[in-house]
Amino acid sequence: KCICRNEYAVHEQVGAFTNQHLNGHAGLILNPRALDLRLFLNQWASVFHIKENTTRSERQSIQFFDHQGDALLKVYATDNTDMAAWSELLARFIADENTPLELKAGDAPVVQMRADASVVEQEWRAMTDVHQFFTLLKRHNLTRQQAFNLVADDLACKVSNSALAQILESAQ
């Protein structure tokens, strides 16, 4: 079971880490309708194996953190986990000695916005896959927020933090 979170949401997926495509800075786990992850490996700074005693049993996880100490990904063993493979993985990568953490303050991105709004919007509308968005940002040297502000409201508009909860409640 994998968990990713930020201050607004928790995303949980259950599945196996099969169909992997890994390179130096990024990785994909492509199992549609199951475990489907994009991993930015160059952001990983530390990894911990955690054992917790709960009221029901012992719970194990492997947790990945960035240079600022923020959790990026948490992988929990479940009843379906191959614990022999899990133990093998731990034996292969666990450190003999815990080195002190070296946390770094996060830098706010400094991006000069020189993009042509009409070109950004045209390219956005031409996208056929959500993952093309990051290429669009890079091509125009934009942050997500800058791109959101450049395009028409039918492509991106600000909503309140409670909007998702309201949508889900109205769907019941």
User: Looking at the whole model, is its pTM more than 0.75?
Assistant: no
pLDDT one-digit tens code per residue, 130-141: 889 999 999 999
The yes-or-no verdict on residue 108 having pLDDT over 70 is no
Residue 70 · residue 40 · CB < 8 Å: no
Distances (CA, A) of 97 to 2, 63, 90, 92, 100: 26, 17, 14, 14, 10
Query: What are the boundaries of each domain within the chain?
Result: 2-93, 117-171
Stretch 89-99: mean pLDDT: 91
Q: Which residue has the higher pLDDT, 3 or 85?
A: 85
Closest CA to 118 of 147, 89, 93, 150: 150
Q: What is the pLDDT of residue 98?
A: 85
Fold topology of 2-93: Heme iron utilization protein-like fold (3.40.1570)
